Amino acid sequence: MDPDRRWTVADVAAYMAIGARGPVIIGAGKTVVDELEHWMTVAGVDGFNVDYALRQPDMAAFAEFVSPELRARGHLATPNEQHLTLRKQLFGTDWLPHESTGAAYRRE
C-alpha cells in the first residue's frame, strides 16, 4: 500500500475488494507463473494462496492455464493418475486402523 497516499474509505474498499493487501496477478498462464517465480526468487516465497473474484470461472482458468505451466516448470506435481485418496497415498489404505478411535464409527 502506498504510505504517501491519503486513503479514503472508498479507496480502501476498492483496493481490498480483490486481492486484499497482497498482489493481484492477472494475465496468461505463463505471465502468472513468471510472476510467481519472481516472488519465489526475490523473496524466497515457497507457497501461495490462490484466491478468486468469481469462484468457478477463476478456478477453472487457473486449472486450465496456470497449473499446466507450473507443472511444466517443475513447481506442481502431476495429478495422481490412479485417483488415490490422500489417506491411501500416505498410509496405503483408505481405512483407519481398527484400533483407531475413528474406526469405531465405520459402517462396514
The answer to whether the pTM exceeds 0.85 is no
Exposed e or buried b per residue across 93-104, where buried means at least 16 C-beta atoms within 10 angstroms of its C-beta:
eeeeeeeeeeee
71 lies in some domain: yes
Q: Is the dihedral of CA 90, 92, 98, 99 positive or negative?
A: negative
Structural domain including 49 reads 9-79
CA 48/CA 65 separation, integer angstroms: 16
Q: Does residue 98 sit within a domain?
A: no
User: Structural domain tally of the chain?
Assistant: 1
Is 38 contained in some domain?
yes
Residue 50 forms part of a structural domain = yes
In a domain, 94, yes or no: no
Angle CA(91)–CA(49)–CA(56) in degrees, nearest 5?
95
Domain presence at residue 56: yes
The answer as to whether 108 is a domain residue is no
pLDDT at 18: 63
Average pLDDT over the chain, rounded to an integer: 85
Q: What proportions of the chain, in percent to the nearest 5, are helix, strand and coil?
A: 50, 0, 50
Distance CA 66, CA 52 (A): 13
The confidence band for 36, taking pLDDT boundaries of 50, 70 and 90, is very high
User: Is residue 84 assigned to a domain?
Assistant: no
